[in-house]
């Protein structure tokens, strides 16, 4: 079964750090671009970061310089290192597999909750 | 980069058709045939319904269709069913030099 499972969420103080993980199974992980997408409670989806099969990375301005996406193909794992966290980063974080020429997100994890609060 | 613009809500009766719009710019929706649509039920992860403007992944009913004209993409749900009630989000590729991916604000579809 093709599956993504996130972990690592939790409560962190403003200015703190957290590392999210996403374990992939059921497909050739190294062959796919991977993304992180977040959703604040009651709000819409927000793209957070992407990593290509060659390790190229992309970020929106809201997280650039604070978040780092990485992958470890030997472990079928995706990571998101989040530093200098702010209250506005509070959200459910999903990892997603991108497929096809358009990088449509065809497989999503169940999400992991990150709460930034003192 | 601003989010794509979707109406906050849409509704229709069972069996009817409803269309949800998604308006962007020439830098995203209008510039690429890379619009996707996602369905999200409460408490669940999003599910891909349409990709590359009008293509359906395996398993998605053909009641769901997509199209694009200029800077506006549309999702049409025909033959509405109770289980179609959900939030729907559009997204578009926006070029690797800027925002790589941009989402719409979401549309709550209610089946009356």
Give residue-wise pLDDT tens across range A27-55.
999 999 999 999 999 999 999 999 999 99
Partner residue opposite B93 with nearest CB, options A46, A103, A109: A103
Interface residue A67 vs chain B (CB under 8 A): no
Residue B100's pLDDT is 84
pLDDT-based confidence at A103, cuts 50/70/90? Answer: confident
Residue B72 above 70 pLDDT?
A: yes
Phi, psi at residue A24, to the nearest 5°?
-105, 145
What are the Cα distances from residue A116, in Å, to A3, A11, A37, A105, A113?
27, 6, 17, 26, 10
Q: Cβ neighbours of residue A114 under 8 Å, at least 6 residues apart?
A: A9, A10, A12, A18, A20, A38, A82, A85, A89, A90, A91, A92, A93
pLDDT-based confidence at B2, cuts 50/70/90? Answer: low
Interface residue A54 vs chain B (CB under 8 A): no
Residues of A in Cβ contact (< 8 Å) with B49: none
Average pLDDT, chain A: 96
DSSP code string of A7-19: E--EEE-TT--EE
Q: Which residue has the tokens 């050739």?
A: A28
SS3 label, residue B48: strand
How much is the average pLDDT of A10-23?
98
Residues of B in Cβ contact (< 8 Å) with A50: 100-101
- Beta bridge partners of residue B10, listed in sequence order: B109
Q: Which residue has the tokens 């403007």?
A: B53
Distance from CA of A77 to the nearest CA of B (A): 19
Q: In what order do the strands lie in the sheet with B64-69?
A: B18-23, B72-77, B64-69
- Beta bridge partners of residue B82, listed in sequence order: none
Give residue-wise pLDDT tens across range B42-67.
999 999 999 999 999 999 999 999 99
Residue of A nearest to B38 (CA): A105
Residues of B in Cβ contact (< 8 Å) with A69: none
Residue A26 above 70 pLDDT?
A: yes
CA distance A52 to A45: 21
Distance from CA of B95 to the nearest CA of A (A): 10
A62-86: burial string, b at 16+ Cβ within 10 Å, e else: bbeeebbbebeeeebbbbbebeebe
CA distance A61 to A83: 14
Residues of A in Cβ contact (< 8 Å) with B45: 94, 108-111
CA distance B75 to B88: 9
């Amino acid at each position: 079964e093709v599956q993504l499972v996130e972990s690592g969420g939790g409560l962190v103080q403003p200015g703190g750090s957290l590392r999210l993980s996403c374990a992939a199974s059921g497909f050739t992980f190294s062959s796919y671009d991977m993304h992180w997408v977040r959703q604040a409670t009651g709000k819409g989806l927000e793209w957070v970061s992407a990593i290509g099969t060659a390790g190229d990375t992309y970020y929106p301005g809201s997280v650039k310089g604070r978040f780092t996406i990485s992958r470890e193909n030997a472990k079928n794992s995706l990571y998101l290192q989040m530093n200098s966290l702010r209250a506005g980063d509070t959200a459910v974080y999903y990892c997603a597999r991108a497929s096809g020429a358009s990088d449509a997100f065809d497989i999503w994890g169940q999400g992991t909750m990150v709460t930034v609060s003192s | 980069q601003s989010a794509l613009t979707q109406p906050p809500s849409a509704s229709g009766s069972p069996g009817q058709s409803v269309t949800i719009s998604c308006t962007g710019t020439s830098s995203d929706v209008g510039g690429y045939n890379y619009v996707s649509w996602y369905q999200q039920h409460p408490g669940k992860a999003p599910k891909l319904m349409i990709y590359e403007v009008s293509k359906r992944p395996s398993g998605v009913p053909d009641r769901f269709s997509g199209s694009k004209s200029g800077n506006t993409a549309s999702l049409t749900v025909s033959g509405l069913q109770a289980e179609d009630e959900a939030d729907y989000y559009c997204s578009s590729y926006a070029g690797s030099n800027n925002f790589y991916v941009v989402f719409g604000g979401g549309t709550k579809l209610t089946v009356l």
